[in-house]
Structure 1
Amino acid sequence: MAALLLACLVVMLFDGREIRGVSVWVKPAKFAGSLALWCWSLALAWSALAEDWREGRAARAIVAGTLACGLFEVGWITLRAMLGEPSHFARDALGAAAYGLMGLAALLLCLCAAGFGALVAARGDAAMPRLLRGGIALGFLVAGLGGAATGFAISANLGPYVGAPPTDAGAWPPFFWSRDGGDLRVAHFVAVHAMQALPLLAWALLRLRAPAAAGWLAAGTLGWVGLAGAAFALASAGRAALP
Protein backbone atom coordinates (compact mmCIF):
# COMPACT_ATOMS: atom_id res chain seq x y z
CA MET A 1 0.00 0.00 0.00
CA ALA A 2 2.85 2.39 0.79
CA ALA A 3 4.46 1.57 -2.57
CA LEU A 4 1.16 2.22 -4.36
CA LEU A 5 0.79 5.55 -2.55
CA LEU A 6 4.23 6.60 -3.75
CA ALA A 7 3.46 5.45 -7.30
CA CYS A 8 0.22 7.45 -7.36
CA LEU A 9 2.00 10.59 -6.17
CA VAL A 10 4.58 10.21 -8.93
CA VAL A 11 2.09 9.42 -11.70
CA MET A 12 -0.16 12.38 -10.88
CA LEU A 13 2.76 14.68 -11.75
CA PHE A 14 2.52 13.52 -15.37
CA ASP A 15 -1.16 12.63 -15.76
CA GLY A 16 -3.40 15.69 -15.96
CA ARG A 17 -6.75 13.88 -16.04
CA GLU A 18 -9.26 14.81 -13.33
CA ILE A 19 -12.39 13.45 -11.67
CA ARG A 20 -14.59 15.87 -9.71
CA GLY A 21 -11.97 18.59 -9.97
CA VAL A 22 -8.91 16.73 -8.68
CA SER A 23 -6.39 14.31 -10.17
CA VAL A 24 -7.69 10.84 -10.98
CA TRP A 25 -4.86 9.54 -8.77
CA VAL A 26 -5.96 11.33 -5.61
CA LYS A 27 -8.49 8.67 -4.59
CA PRO A 28 -6.20 5.61 -4.98
CA ALA A 29 -3.45 7.56 -3.20
CA LYS A 30 -5.74 8.36 -0.26
CA PHE A 31 -7.04 4.80 0.02
CA ALA A 32 -3.57 3.29 -0.27
CA GLY A 33 -2.23 5.60 2.44
CA SER A 34 -5.19 4.90 4.70
CA LEU A 35 -4.91 1.13 4.31
CA ALA A 36 -1.14 1.20 4.83
CA LEU A 37 -1.76 2.90 8.18
CA TRP A 38 -4.70 0.54 8.92
CA CYS A 39 -2.64 -2.61 8.36
CA TRP A 40 0.37 -1.20 10.21
CA SER A 41 -1.86 -0.41 13.20
CA LEU A 42 -3.35 -3.90 13.15
CA ALA A 43 0.10 -5.50 13.00
CA LEU A 44 1.43 -3.32 15.81
CA ALA A 45 -1.60 -4.10 18.00
CA TRP A 46 -1.46 -7.85 17.32
CA SER A 47 0.55 -8.55 20.48
CA ALA A 48 -2.46 -7.40 22.53
CA LEU A 49 -4.04 -10.80 21.79
CA ALA A 50 -3.29 -13.71 24.08
CA GLU A 51 -0.50 -15.74 22.51
CA ASP A 52 -2.61 -18.86 21.98
CA TRP A 53 -5.25 -16.76 20.16
CA ARG A 54 -2.89 -15.05 17.71
CA GLU A 55 -2.93 -18.08 15.41
CA GLY A 56 -6.54 -19.10 16.06
CA ARG A 57 -9.33 -19.26 13.49
CA ALA A 58 -10.86 -15.96 14.53
CA ALA A 59 -7.53 -14.14 14.27
CA ARG A 60 -6.75 -15.72 10.90
CA ALA A 61 -10.19 -14.73 9.61
CA ILE A 62 -9.56 -11.12 10.66
CA VAL A 63 -6.21 -11.04 8.84
CA ALA A 64 -7.58 -12.75 5.72
CA GLY A 65 -10.65 -10.50 5.64
CA THR A 66 -8.60 -7.35 6.08
CA LEU A 67 -6.18 -8.28 3.30
CA ALA A 68 -8.82 -9.52 0.85
CA CYS A 69 -11.19 -6.58 1.31
CA GLY A 70 -8.41 -4.00 1.35
CA LEU A 71 -6.78 -5.36 -1.80
CA PHE A 72 -10.11 -5.54 -3.62
CA GLU A 73 -11.05 -1.97 -2.65
CA VAL A 74 -7.75 -0.40 -3.63
CA GLY A 75 -7.33 -2.60 -6.69
CA TRP A 76 -10.67 -1.54 -8.16
CA ILE A 77 -10.13 2.13 -7.27
CA THR A 78 -6.71 2.07 -8.93
CA LEU A 79 -8.03 0.34 -12.04
CA ARG A 80 -10.78 2.94 -12.42
CA ALA A 81 -8.23 5.72 -12.00
CA MET A 82 -6.18 4.20 -14.81
CA LEU A 83 -9.30 4.23 -17.00
CA GLY A 84 -10.17 7.78 -15.95
CA GLU A 85 -13.50 6.63 -14.49
CA PRO A 86 -14.97 7.14 -10.98
CA SER A 87 -14.90 4.11 -8.69
CA HIS A 88 -17.65 5.37 -6.37
CA PHE A 89 -21.17 6.22 -7.51
CA ALA A 90 -20.28 5.33 -11.11
CA ARG A 91 -23.03 5.50 -13.71
CA ASP A 92 -21.85 2.80 -16.11
CA ALA A 93 -23.21 -0.72 -15.59
CA LEU A 94 -19.90 -2.34 -14.59
CA GLY A 95 -18.99 0.51 -12.26
CA ALA A 96 -22.40 0.43 -10.56
CA ALA A 97 -22.21 -3.35 -10.03
CA ALA A 98 -18.67 -3.17 -8.68
CA TYR A 99 -19.67 -0.34 -6.35
CA GLY A 100 -22.10 -2.69 -4.62
CA LEU A 101 -19.29 -5.20 -4.08
CA MET A 102 -17.06 -2.40 -2.80
CA GLY A 103 -19.71 -1.48 -0.25
CA LEU A 104 -19.79 -5.06 0.99
CA ALA A 105 -15.99 -5.18 1.13
CA ALA A 106 -15.84 -1.90 3.06
CA LEU A 107 -18.40 -3.19 5.56
CA LEU A 108 -16.47 -6.44 6.05
CA LEU A 109 -13.23 -4.48 6.47
CA CYS A 110 -14.80 -2.42 9.25
CA LEU A 111 -16.28 -5.51 10.88
CA CYS A 112 -12.82 -7.11 10.88
CA ALA A 113 -11.51 -4.10 12.81
CA ALA A 114 -14.40 -4.24 15.28
CA GLY A 115 -13.94 -8.00 15.58
CA PHE A 116 -10.30 -7.54 16.45
CA GLY A 117 -11.24 -5.02 19.14
CA ALA A 118 -13.78 -7.43 20.60
CA LEU A 119 -11.24 -10.27 20.49
CA VAL A 120 -8.68 -8.18 22.38
CA ALA A 121 -11.30 -7.28 24.97
CA ALA A 122 -12.24 -10.94 25.47
CA ARG A 123 -8.89 -12.67 24.91
CA GLY A 124 -6.22 -10.06 25.58
CA ASP A 125 -2.65 -10.91 26.59
CA ALA A 126 -2.41 -10.70 30.38
CA ALA A 127 1.26 -9.74 30.04
CA MET A 128 0.29 -6.43 28.42
CA PRO A 129 -0.87 -3.62 30.76
CA ARG A 130 -4.63 -3.69 31.09
CA LEU A 131 -4.94 0.00 30.20
CA LEU A 132 -3.11 -0.47 26.90
CA ARG A 133 -5.21 -3.52 26.05
CA GLY A 134 -8.29 -1.46 26.79
CA GLY A 135 -7.11 1.38 24.54
CA ILE A 136 -6.48 -1.04 21.67
CA ALA A 137 -9.82 -2.79 22.13
CA LEU A 138 -11.76 0.47 22.32
CA GLY A 139 -9.86 2.01 19.43
CA PHE A 140 -10.60 -0.83 17.03
CA LEU A 141 -14.20 -1.19 18.18
CA VAL A 142 -14.90 2.52 17.66
CA ALA A 143 -13.05 2.53 14.34
CA GLY A 144 -14.89 -0.52 13.03
CA LEU A 145 -18.39 0.38 14.15
CA GLY A 146 -18.01 4.11 13.52
CA GLY A 147 -16.39 3.54 10.15
CA ALA A 148 -19.23 1.24 9.11
CA ALA A 149 -21.91 3.68 10.28
CA THR A 150 -20.41 6.74 8.59
CA GLY A 151 -19.62 4.76 5.44
CA PHE A 152 -23.24 3.61 5.26
CA ALA A 153 -24.37 7.23 5.66
CA ILE A 154 -22.21 8.28 2.70
CA SER A 155 -23.65 5.47 0.59
CA ALA A 156 -27.25 6.22 1.61
CA ASN A 157 -26.68 9.89 0.76
CA LEU A 158 -25.38 8.85 -2.69
CA GLY A 159 -22.17 10.69 -1.99
CA PRO A 160 -20.35 12.56 0.76
CA TYR A 161 -21.63 16.04 -0.16
CA VAL A 162 -24.47 17.71 1.73
CA GLY A 163 -25.55 21.09 0.43
CA ALA A 164 -22.34 21.34 -1.58
CA PRO A 165 -21.53 20.95 -5.27
CA PRO A 166 -20.27 17.42 -6.06
CA THR A 167 -16.69 18.47 -6.63
CA ASP A 168 -13.43 18.48 -4.68
CA ALA A 169 -11.98 21.39 -6.67
CA GLY A 170 -10.62 24.16 -4.45
CA ALA A 171 -10.52 21.98 -1.33
CA TRP A 172 -7.48 21.59 0.88
CA PRO A 173 -5.08 18.74 0.05
CA PRO A 174 -4.40 15.97 0.85
CA PHE A 175 -7.97 15.09 1.85
CA PHE A 176 -9.89 17.47 -0.44
CA TRP A 177 -12.92 17.75 1.83
CA SER A 178 -15.51 20.18 0.58
CA ARG A 179 -15.17 23.80 1.70
CA ASP A 180 -18.52 24.80 0.19
CA GLY A 181 -20.85 22.68 2.31
CA GLY A 182 -21.13 19.53 4.37
CA ASP A 183 -18.82 16.57 3.74
CA LEU A 184 -19.53 13.25 5.47
CA ARG A 185 -16.00 12.04 4.77
CA VAL A 186 -14.74 14.10 7.71
CA ALA A 187 -16.78 12.07 10.21
CA HIS A 188 -15.70 8.85 8.51
CA PHE A 189 -12.05 9.87 8.79
CA VAL A 190 -12.34 10.73 12.49
CA ALA A 191 -14.19 7.51 13.29
CA VAL A 192 -11.76 5.22 11.48
CA HIS A 193 -8.68 6.79 13.06
CA ALA A 194 -9.85 5.91 16.54
CA MET A 195 -7.73 2.78 16.00
CA GLN A 196 -4.64 4.99 16.30
CA ALA A 197 -5.90 7.72 18.63
CA LEU A 198 -7.20 5.63 21.54
CA PRO A 199 -4.25 3.19 21.78
CA LEU A 200 -1.92 6.20 21.66
CA LEU A 201 -3.90 7.86 24.44
CA ALA A 202 -3.64 4.71 26.59
CA TRP A 203 0.11 4.50 25.90
CA ALA A 204 0.58 8.16 26.86
CA LEU A 205 -1.39 7.72 30.09
CA LEU A 206 0.82 4.77 31.00
CA ARG A 207 4.01 6.70 30.26
CA LEU A 208 2.81 9.65 32.32
CA ARG A 209 1.62 7.35 35.12
CA ALA A 210 -1.55 9.40 35.21
CA PRO A 211 -3.83 8.94 38.21
CA ALA A 212 -7.28 7.54 37.39
CA ALA A 213 -5.93 6.56 33.98
CA ALA A 214 -8.87 4.26 33.22
CA GLY A 215 -11.23 7.18 33.74
CA TRP A 216 -9.18 9.37 31.40
CA LEU A 217 -9.25 6.64 28.77
CA ALA A 218 -13.02 6.37 29.08
CA ALA A 219 -13.32 10.15 28.79
CA GLY A 220 -11.03 10.16 25.77
CA THR A 221 -13.12 7.47 24.10
CA LEU A 222 -16.32 9.41 24.67
CA GLY A 223 -14.58 12.55 23.46
CA TRP A 224 -13.43 10.88 20.24
CA VAL A 225 -16.89 9.45 19.58
CA GLY A 226 -18.28 12.91 20.27
CA LEU A 227 -15.82 14.46 17.82
CA ALA A 228 -16.93 12.04 15.10
CA GLY A 229 -20.56 12.76 15.98
CA ALA A 230 -19.98 16.52 15.82
CA ALA A 231 -18.32 16.19 12.42
CA PHE A 232 -21.28 14.12 11.24
CA ALA A 233 -23.80 16.64 12.57
CA LEU A 234 -21.89 19.52 10.98
CA ALA A 235 -21.83 17.77 7.61
CA SER A 236 -25.50 16.78 7.85
CA ALA A 237 -26.36 20.42 8.41
CA GLY A 238 -24.52 21.31 5.20
CA ARG A 239 -21.68 23.10 6.94
CA ALA A 240 -18.02 22.71 6.01
CA ALA A 241 -15.53 21.45 8.58
CA LEU A 242 -12.71 23.56 7.08
CA PRO A 243 -12.85 27.22 6.00
Structure 2
Amino acid sequence: MALWTAGSAVGILVDDRILVGAPIWAKPFKFAASILAYALSLAWMISLLARARPRLARPAWWAGTVVAVAGAVEMVLITAQVFRGRQSHFNHATPFDARLYDVMAGTIVSLWLGALVIAVLLFRARIGDRATTWSIRIAAALALAGAGLGFLMTQPTAEQLAAGDDDAPIVGGHAVGVPDGGPGMPLTGWSTTGGDLCIPHFVGMHALQLLPLFVLLLAVLAVRLPVLREERARLRLVGVAGSAYAAVLALLVWQALRGRPLTSPDGPTLGAATLILAATGLGTLLSLRRGGGPGVREGADPAGPASVPRSSVRSSGS
Protein backbone atom coordinates (compact mmCIF):
# COMPACT_ATOMS: atom_id res chain seq x y z
CA MET A 1 0.00 0.00 0.00
CA ALA A 2 2.94 2.34 0.59
CA LEU A 3 4.10 1.71 -2.97
CA TRP A 4 0.53 2.06 -4.23
CA THR A 5 0.19 5.42 -2.47
CA ALA A 6 3.42 6.67 -4.05
CA GLY A 7 2.43 5.38 -7.49
CA SER A 8 -0.99 7.02 -7.26
CA ALA A 9 0.63 10.30 -6.24
CA VAL A 10 2.72 10.14 -9.39
CA GLY A 11 -0.46 9.42 -11.34
CA ILE A 12 -2.08 12.58 -9.97
CA LEU A 13 0.93 14.61 -11.15
CA VAL A 14 1.27 13.18 -14.67
CA ASP A 15 -2.31 12.23 -15.60
CA ASP A 16 -4.61 15.21 -16.07
CA ARG A 17 -7.84 13.22 -16.52
CA ILE A 18 -10.77 14.21 -14.31
CA LEU A 19 -13.41 11.72 -13.13
CA VAL A 20 -16.46 12.68 -11.05
CA GLY A 21 -15.02 16.13 -10.41
CA ALA A 22 -11.62 14.95 -9.12
CA PRO A 23 -8.25 13.87 -10.56
CA ILE A 24 -8.73 10.30 -11.73
CA TRP A 25 -5.86 9.01 -9.54
CA ALA A 26 -7.20 10.69 -6.40
CA LYS A 27 -9.36 7.73 -5.41
CA PRO A 28 -6.60 5.07 -5.52
CA PHE A 29 -4.30 7.51 -3.70
CA LYS A 30 -6.77 8.05 -0.84
CA PHE A 31 -7.73 4.39 -0.60
CA ALA A 32 -4.11 3.17 -0.61
CA ALA A 33 -3.08 5.68 2.08
CA SER A 34 -6.10 4.80 4.21
CA ILE A 35 -5.59 1.05 3.90
CA LEU A 36 -1.89 1.52 4.69
CA ALA A 37 -2.68 3.21 8.02
CA TYR A 38 -5.49 0.75 8.77
CA ALA A 39 -3.38 -2.33 8.01
CA LEU A 40 -0.38 -1.13 10.01
CA SER A 41 -2.60 -0.49 13.03
CA LEU A 42 -4.24 -3.93 12.78
CA ALA A 43 -0.86 -5.63 12.35
CA TRP A 44 0.43 -3.90 15.49
CA MET A 45 -2.67 -4.93 17.45
CA ILE A 46 -2.36 -8.53 16.25
CA SER A 47 1.27 -8.59 17.41
CA LEU A 48 0.23 -7.37 20.87
CA LEU A 49 -2.56 -9.92 20.97
CA ALA A 50 -0.17 -12.73 20.07
CA ARG A 51 2.11 -11.82 22.99
CA ALA A 52 -0.73 -11.41 25.49
CA ARG A 53 -2.72 -14.52 24.48
CA PRO A 54 -0.63 -16.88 22.32
CA ARG A 55 -3.61 -19.19 21.77
CA LEU A 56 -5.39 -16.37 19.93
CA ALA A 57 -2.47 -15.65 17.62
CA ARG A 58 -3.46 -18.11 14.90
CA PRO A 59 -7.08 -16.97 14.39
CA ALA A 60 -5.92 -13.35 14.56
CA TRP A 61 -3.29 -14.08 11.90
CA TRP A 62 -5.89 -15.62 9.58
CA ALA A 63 -8.28 -12.71 10.12
CA GLY A 64 -5.48 -10.25 9.37
CA THR A 65 -4.65 -12.16 6.21
CA VAL A 66 -8.27 -11.86 5.07
CA VAL A 67 -8.12 -8.09 5.65
CA ALA A 68 -4.84 -7.80 3.71
CA VAL A 69 -6.01 -9.88 0.73
CA ALA A 70 -9.38 -8.11 0.59
CA GLY A 71 -7.71 -4.70 0.66
CA ALA A 72 -5.31 -5.71 -2.11
CA VAL A 73 -8.12 -7.01 -4.34
CA GLU A 74 -10.08 -3.81 -3.76
CA MET A 75 -7.08 -1.72 -4.83
CA VAL A 76 -6.49 -3.84 -7.96
CA LEU A 77 -10.07 -3.29 -9.10
CA ILE A 78 -10.06 0.45 -8.32
CA THR A 79 -6.81 0.87 -10.24
CA ALA A 80 -8.06 -1.22 -13.15
CA GLN A 81 -11.04 1.10 -13.51
CA VAL A 82 -8.69 4.10 -13.45
CA PHE A 83 -6.76 2.67 -16.39
CA ARG A 84 -10.08 2.14 -18.19
CA GLY A 85 -11.16 5.68 -17.36
CA ARG A 86 -14.27 4.38 -15.62
CA GLN A 87 -15.89 5.07 -12.26
CA SER A 88 -15.23 2.19 -9.86
CA HIS A 89 -17.82 2.65 -7.10
CA PHE A 90 -21.60 2.64 -7.67
CA ASN A 91 -21.06 1.96 -11.39
CA HIS A 92 -23.71 -0.14 -13.18
CA ALA A 93 -23.24 1.45 -16.61
CA THR A 94 -22.28 -1.86 -18.27
CA PRO A 95 -22.53 -5.50 -17.18
CA PHE A 96 -18.73 -5.59 -16.81
CA ASP A 97 -18.67 -2.45 -14.64
CA ALA A 98 -21.49 -3.86 -12.52
CA ARG A 99 -19.65 -7.18 -12.10
CA LEU A 100 -16.46 -5.43 -10.96
CA TYR A 101 -18.45 -3.37 -8.49
CA ASP A 102 -20.11 -6.51 -7.14
CA VAL A 103 -16.69 -8.09 -6.58
CA MET A 104 -15.54 -4.92 -4.80
CA ALA A 105 -18.58 -5.11 -2.54
CA GLY A 106 -17.65 -8.69 -1.67
CA THR A 107 -14.08 -7.73 -0.81
CA ILE A 108 -15.26 -4.94 1.50
CA VAL A 109 -17.62 -7.32 3.32
CA SER A 110 -14.73 -9.77 3.72
CA LEU A 111 -12.46 -7.02 5.04
CA TRP A 112 -15.11 -5.92 7.54
CA LEU A 113 -15.69 -9.49 8.77
CA GLY A 114 -11.94 -10.02 9.19
CA ALA A 115 -11.70 -6.83 11.23
CA LEU A 116 -14.70 -7.97 13.28
CA VAL A 117 -12.93 -11.22 14.21
CA ILE A 118 -9.85 -9.25 15.29
CA ALA A 119 -11.99 -6.90 17.39
CA VAL A 120 -13.69 -9.84 19.13
CA LEU A 121 -10.30 -11.40 19.90
CA LEU A 122 -9.03 -8.07 21.28
CA PHE A 123 -11.93 -8.06 23.73
CA ARG A 124 -10.76 -11.46 25.01
CA ALA A 125 -7.24 -10.34 25.92
CA ARG A 126 -5.68 -7.78 28.19
CA ILE A 127 -2.93 -5.89 26.43
CA GLY A 128 -0.73 -3.84 28.72
CA ASP A 129 -2.44 -1.80 31.42
CA ARG A 130 -6.21 -1.24 31.47
CA ALA A 131 -6.00 2.16 29.78
CA THR A 132 -4.07 0.72 26.83
CA THR A 133 -6.30 -2.34 26.65
CA TRP A 134 -9.52 -0.33 26.55
CA SER A 135 -8.16 2.25 24.12
CA ILE A 136 -7.44 -0.56 21.66
CA ARG A 137 -10.81 -2.22 22.24
CA ILE A 138 -12.79 1.00 21.82
CA ALA A 139 -10.72 1.95 18.78
CA ALA A 140 -11.42 -1.41 17.13
CA ALA A 141 -15.17 -1.09 17.80
CA LEU A 142 -15.35 2.47 16.46
CA ALA A 143 -13.34 1.51 13.39
CA LEU A 144 -15.84 -1.27 12.68
CA ALA A 145 -18.69 1.22 12.99
CA GLY A 146 -16.92 3.66 10.68
CA ALA A 147 -16.24 0.99 8.08
CA GLY A 148 -19.85 -0.18 8.31
CA LEU A 149 -21.06 3.32 7.42
CA GLY A 150 -19.72 2.68 3.94
CA PHE A 151 -22.69 0.40 3.32
CA LEU A 152 -25.01 3.44 3.56
CA MET A 153 -23.39 4.77 0.39
CA THR A 154 -24.46 1.75 -1.65
CA GLN A 155 -28.16 2.61 -1.29
CA PRO A 156 -29.86 4.65 -4.05
CA THR A 157 -29.93 8.36 -3.25
CA ALA A 158 -33.19 10.28 -2.92
CA GLU A 159 -32.60 11.81 -6.34
CA GLN A 160 -32.00 8.41 -7.92
CA LEU A 161 -35.15 7.00 -6.34
CA ALA A 162 -37.16 10.01 -7.56
CA ALA A 163 -35.90 9.44 -11.10
CA GLY A 164 -37.32 5.89 -10.94
CA ASP A 165 -34.79 4.50 -13.41
CA ASP A 166 -34.31 0.78 -12.74
CA ASP A 167 -31.36 0.70 -15.16
CA ALA A 168 -29.56 3.79 -13.84
CA PRO A 169 -25.82 3.75 -14.63
CA ILE A 170 -24.94 5.00 -11.14
CA VAL A 171 -26.65 3.62 -8.03
CA GLY A 172 -25.58 5.04 -4.68
CA GLY A 173 -23.11 7.76 -3.77
CA HIS A 174 -21.37 9.44 -0.88
CA ALA A 175 -22.88 12.93 -1.25
CA VAL A 176 -26.31 13.59 0.28
CA GLY A 177 -28.65 16.16 -1.23
CA VAL A 178 -26.27 16.97 -4.08
CA PRO A 179 -24.67 14.88 -6.86
CA ASP A 180 -21.24 13.33 -6.37
CA GLY A 181 -18.47 15.30 -8.01
CA GLY A 182 -19.65 18.80 -7.03
CA PRO A 183 -17.59 21.43 -5.19
CA GLY A 184 -15.46 19.77 -2.54
CA MET A 185 -12.78 20.35 0.06
CA PRO A 186 -9.13 20.29 -1.04
CA LEU A 187 -7.45 16.85 -1.03
CA THR A 188 -10.37 14.98 0.56
CA GLY A 189 -12.98 16.06 -1.99
CA TRP A 190 -15.69 16.07 0.70
CA SER A 191 -18.72 18.01 -0.47
CA THR A 192 -18.98 21.66 0.52
CA THR A 193 -22.55 22.05 -0.77
CA GLY A 194 -24.27 19.01 0.78
CA GLY A 195 -23.84 16.19 3.23
CA ASP A 196 -21.07 13.65 2.73
CA LEU A 197 -21.02 10.15 4.22
CA CYS A 198 -17.30 9.84 3.48
CA ILE A 199 -16.63 12.11 6.46
CA PRO A 200 -17.97 9.85 9.26
CA HIS A 201 -16.69 6.82 7.30
CA PHE A 202 -13.16 8.26 7.42
CA VAL A 203 -13.34 9.53 11.00
CA GLY A 204 -14.71 6.24 12.31
CA MET A 205 -12.13 4.04 10.60
CA HIS A 206 -9.20 6.09 11.82
CA ALA A 207 -10.16 5.83 15.47
CA LEU A 208 -7.91 2.79 15.08
CA GLN A 209 -4.90 5.12 15.16
CA LEU A 210 -6.12 8.10 17.18
CA LEU A 211 -7.23 6.44 20.43
CA PRO A 212 -4.03 4.39 20.93
CA LEU A 213 -2.07 7.57 20.15
CA PHE A 214 -4.11 9.31 22.86
CA VAL A 215 -2.88 6.76 25.42
CA LEU A 216 0.67 7.31 24.22
CA LEU A 217 0.17 11.06 24.72
CA LEU A 218 -1.05 10.44 28.28
CA ALA A 219 2.10 8.42 28.98
CA VAL A 220 4.26 11.30 27.74
CA LEU A 221 2.33 13.86 29.80
CA ALA A 222 2.58 11.63 32.88
CA VAL A 223 6.26 12.60 33.12
CA ARG A 224 5.17 16.11 34.17
CA LEU A 225 1.66 15.46 35.54
CA PRO A 226 1.71 13.09 38.54
CA VAL A 227 -2.06 12.49 38.39
CA LEU A 228 -1.61 10.75 35.03
CA ARG A 229 0.78 8.22 36.55
CA GLU A 230 -2.20 6.58 38.19
CA GLU A 231 -3.75 3.92 35.99
CA ARG A 232 -7.31 4.72 37.11
CA ALA A 233 -6.99 8.33 35.96
CA ARG A 234 -5.71 7.28 32.53
CA LEU A 235 -8.47 4.67 32.25
CA ARG A 236 -11.15 7.28 33.01
CA LEU A 237 -9.67 9.63 30.43
CA VAL A 238 -9.72 6.85 27.83
CA GLY A 239 -13.41 6.34 28.63
CA VAL A 240 -14.06 10.06 28.18
CA ALA A 241 -12.10 10.16 24.92
CA GLY A 242 -13.86 7.07 23.55
CA SER A 243 -17.28 8.45 24.47
CA ALA A 244 -16.48 11.82 22.90
CA TYR A 245 -15.22 10.14 19.74
CA ALA A 246 -18.40 8.05 19.46
CA ALA A 247 -20.54 11.16 20.00
CA VAL A 248 -18.66 13.10 17.31
CA LEU A 249 -19.02 10.15 14.94
CA ALA A 250 -22.79 10.06 15.55
CA LEU A 251 -22.98 13.83 15.03
CA LEU A 252 -21.14 13.58 11.70
CA VAL A 253 -23.51 10.84 10.52
CA TRP A 254 -26.53 12.94 11.54
CA GLN A 255 -25.13 16.02 9.83
CA ALA A 256 -24.37 14.13 6.61
CA LEU A 257 -27.75 12.40 6.41
CA ARG A 258 -29.47 15.78 6.75
CA GLY A 259 -27.52 17.03 3.74
CA ARG A 260 -25.46 19.56 5.70
CA PRO A 261 -21.84 20.16 4.62
CA LEU A 262 -19.07 19.93 7.19
CA THR A 263 -17.95 23.45 6.29
CA SER A 264 -21.39 25.04 6.94
CA PRO A 265 -22.87 23.55 10.12
CA ASP A 266 -26.39 24.68 11.03
CA GLY A 267 -27.77 25.60 14.47
CA PRO A 268 -28.70 22.07 15.59
CA THR A 269 -25.26 20.78 14.58
CA LEU A 270 -23.48 23.55 16.47
CA GLY A 271 -25.73 23.00 19.50
CA ALA A 272 -24.96 19.27 19.58
CA ALA A 273 -21.25 19.97 19.11
CA THR A 274 -21.33 22.40 22.04
CA LEU A 275 -22.96 19.79 24.28
CA ILE A 276 -20.35 17.20 23.29
CA LEU A 277 -17.54 19.67 24.00
CA ALA A 278 -19.00 20.62 27.39
CA ALA A 279 -19.57 16.99 28.40
CA THR A 280 -16.03 16.08 27.34
CA GLY A 281 -14.54 18.97 29.31
CA LEU A 282 -16.55 18.07 32.41
CA GLY A 283 -15.62 14.40 32.11
CA THR A 284 -11.96 15.31 31.77
CA LEU A 285 -12.04 17.50 34.87
CA LEU A 286 -13.79 14.81 36.91
CA SER A 287 -11.35 12.16 35.71
CA LEU A 288 -8.38 14.25 36.81
CA ARG A 289 -10.00 15.39 40.04
CA ARG A 290 -10.81 11.83 41.06
CA GLY A 291 -7.33 10.66 40.17
CA GLY A 292 -6.53 10.27 43.85
CA GLY A 293 -3.36 11.89 45.07
CA PRO A 294 0.17 11.53 43.75
CA GLY A 295 0.77 8.98 41.08
CA VAL A 296 2.23 5.57 41.63
CA ARG A 297 5.30 4.83 39.61
CA GLU A 298 4.68 2.21 36.89
CA GLY A 299 5.73 -1.20 38.19
CA ALA A 300 6.03 -0.05 41.82
CA ASP A 301 4.24 -1.83 44.61
CA PRO A 302 1.45 0.49 45.83
CA ALA A 303 1.63 -1.28 49.22
CA GLY A 304 5.33 -0.66 49.64
CA PRO A 305 7.36 0.23 52.75
CA ALA A 306 5.10 3.17 53.61
CA SER A 307 2.29 0.70 54.41
CA VAL A 308 4.29 -1.31 56.96
CA PRO A 309 3.09 -0.64 60.55
CA ARG A 310 5.59 1.26 62.74
CA SER A 311 5.27 -1.32 65.51
CA SER A 312 6.60 -3.99 63.16
CA VAL A 313 9.60 -1.83 62.35
CA ARG A 314 10.41 -1.23 66.04
CA SER A 315 10.03 -4.89 66.97
CA SER A 316 12.43 -5.93 64.27
CA GLY A 317 15.21 -3.89 65.86
CA SER A 318 15.50 -1.48 62.92
| Same fold, judged at TM 0.5 (above) | yes
> Which of 1 and 2 has higher RCO (CA within 8 Å, sep 6+)?
1
The alignment of Structure 1 onto Structure 2 pairs a total of residues equal to 238
Question: How far is 1:32 from its partner?
Answer: 0.5
- Give the alignment's Cα RMSD to 1 decimal: 1.7
Q: Which runs of 5+ in 2 are unaligned?
A: 157-171, 223-227, 265-318
Asked if the contact 1:48/1:124 (under 8 Å) is kept, the reply is: no
Question: How far is 1:234 from its partner?
Answer: 0.7
Question: How far is 1:86 from its partner?
Answer: 0.6
Moved over 6 A (4+): none
- Supply the distance in 1 between the matched residues of 2:142 and 2:189 (Cα, whole angstroms): 24
Identity %: 29
Which residue pairs with 1:191 in the alignment? Answer: 204
- Residue in structure 1 matching 2:217, options 204, 208, 214: 204
Which residue pairs with 1:44 in the alignment? Answer: 44
- Supply the distance in 2 between the matched residues of 1:195 and 1:46 (Cα, whole angstroms): 13
Asked if 1:159 is matched to 2:173, the reply is yes
Which residue pairs with 1:19 in the alignment? Answer: 19
- Supply the distance in 2 between the matched residues of 1:173 and 1:114 (Cα, whole angstroms): 32
Which residue pairs with 2:145 in the alignment? Answer: 145
Query: Equivalent residues in 2 for 1:165-184 (5 A)?
Result: 165-168=179-182, 170-184=183-197
Question: How far is 1:80 from its partner?
Answer: 0.3
Question: How far is 1:174 from its partner?
Answer: 1.5
- Supply the distance in 2 between the matched residues of 1:114 and 1:213 (Cα, whole angstroms): 26
Asked if the contact 1:182/1:236 (under 8 Å) is kept, the reply is: yes
1:169-224 Cα deviation digits (max 9, x unpaired): x4222210011101110010111011011111222233334252222111211111
1:100-131 Cα deviation digits (max 9, x unpaired): 22122212212322322221220334xx2222
- Supply the distance in 1 between the matched residues of 2:113 and 2:207 (Cα, whole angstroms): 14
Asked if the contact 1:161/1:181 (under 8 Å) is kept, the reply is: yes
- Supply the distance in 2 between the matched residues of 1:130 and 1:47 (Cα, whole angstroms): 18
1:63-93 Cα deviation digits (max 9, x unpaired): 2111111001111001101110011011221
Asked if 1:92 is matched to 2:113, the reply is no
Q: Does the residue aligned with 1:32 lie in a helix, a strand or coil?
A: helix
Which residue pairs with 2:309 in the alignment? Answer: none
Asked if the contact 1:165/1:180 (under 8 Å) is kept, the reply is: no
**Whose radius of gyration is greater, 1 or 2?**
2
Which residue pairs with 1:225 in the alignment? Answer: 246
TM-score normalized with structure 1 length: 0.91
1:146-177 Cα deviation digits (max 9, x unpaired): 311x1111112411111112214x42222100
1:40-81 Cα deviation digits (max 9, x unpaired): 11222233214214641x112212111111001111001101
Deviates more, 1:71-80 or 1:201-210: 201-210
What is the identity, as a one-letter code, of the residue corresponding to 2:76?
G
